[in-house]
Amino acid sequence: MTEPSQYSTEPSRQEPVRIPVKLPAGKPIATYVLVGFTILIYGLQMLSESLSANGYDWPFLLGGKINVFILKGEVWRLITPVFLHGSVLHIAFNMYALYSLGTSLERYYGHWKFLLLYFVSGFAGNTLSFLLTDSASIGASTAVFGLVAAEGVFIYKNRELYGPRARSMLMNLGMIIIVNLLIGLQPNIDNWGHLGGLFGGAVFAWIGGPLLKLQTTIRGYELADVRTKHEVFWAFLLSAGLFVAVVIGRFLAAR
Which residues are designated catalytic? Answer: 141, 194
Nearest to 106 by CA among 151, 56, 57: 151
Contact 52, 58 (CB under 8 A): yes
Length of the chain: 255
Distance of alpha carbon 163 from its chain centroid, rounded? 25
Question: What gap in Å lies between CA 103 and CA 178, rounded to an integer?
Answer: 23
- The DSSP secondary structure of 35-88, one letter per residue, reads HHHHHHHHHHHHHHHHHSTT---HHHHHHSB-HHHHTTT-GGGGTGGGG--SSH
Cα gap 135→196, rounded to integer Å: 15
Taking alpha carbons only, the member of 119, 112, 113, 104 closest to residue 38 is: 119
C-alpha torsion sign, points 126, 132, 138, 141: negative
Spatial separation of the C-alpha atoms in residues 231 and 157, rounded to whole Å: 15
